[in-house]
Chain A
Amino acid sequence: QISLKESGPTLVKPTQTLTLTCTFSGFSLGTNEMGVGWIRQPPGKALEWLALLYWNDVKRYSPSLESRLTITKDTSKNQVVLTMTNMDPVDTATYYCIHRQGDGDYGLWGQGTLVTVSS
């Protein structure tokens, strides 16, 4: 059974760097076609894709946020880490990780973690 869980700080200050970890089970990022992505949702607003990491270490980023994002993996720990630099109050959101099982196949989400950006 596949599961994912996000972890990281609940509060960061403006200009700081956010580091979030997605710890997953039930699949390996070493397996063909697998991937893990990050999505965020500001309070009361719609969903926005941030980044995606494929099993072959190919990385894709939202063009509008690419300069601030880095996604990496630790296959041995079953973790994917997202860093976002220069945090701003508008980045306040629930951040979710999501499992990719193949082309176009994004079915399972983590529970999400709320990150507030405030001084």
Chain B
Amino acid sequence: DVVMTQSPLSLPVTLGQPASISCRSSQTLVHSDGNTFLNWFQQRPGQSPRRLIYKVSNRDSGVPDRFSGSGSGTDFTLKISRVEAEDVGVYYCMQSTHWPLTFGGGTKVEIK
């Protein structure tokens, strides 16, 4: 299985300040078709996960542009340019290139 390693585990952030979450995979996520299927999900307290980013850097409809994804191969990053109160929750990366699909362990974003 592809192991997805996220860091940090917990991320206290001051409102209005940037935040960055790292996700590393144990093998390349480049698919045979050339796409890299790396996704980012946000899970607010008590809610089901919501996808923010797909194929490394594509924002889903309705996702604020303060969220951005980058990276390639085995090394990926989710950035929030200015954290808002509604961004509190747990963020997961997920690879959908290889079966079984696998998630990172999650990063809890909280306000300082």
| Chain A residues within CB distance 8 Å of chain B | 37, 46-49, 52, 60, 62-63, 96, 103-112
The SS class assigned to the A binding surface is: strand
Are A46 and B105 interface neighbours, CB within 8 A? yes
With a CB–CB cut-off of 8 A, which chain A residues contact B48? Answer: 96, 109-112
How many residue pairs, one in A and one in B, have C-beta atoms under 8 Å apart? 55
Shortest CB-to-CB span from B102 to chain A, Å, is 7
| B67 at interface, CB cutoff 8 A | no
A28-B35 Cα distance, complex, nearest whole Å:
25
Count of residues in B whose CB is under 8 Å from the partner chain: 25
- Report B37 CB to chain A, min CB distance, Å: 3
Can you list 18 A-B contacts with CB-CB less than 8 angstroms, sorted by A residue number?
A37-B101, A46-B106, A47-B94, A47-B106, A49-B103, A52-B99, A52-B101, A60-B100, A63-B100, A96-B49, A103-B33, A103-B35, A103-B37, A104-B37, A106-B51, A107-B51, A107-B60, A108-B51
Q: Compute how far the CA of A106 lies from the CA of B1 in the bound complex, rounded to whole angstroms.
A: 18
With contact pairs A47-B49, A96-B48 given, residues A105 and B96 touching in the complex (Cβ less than 8 Å): yes
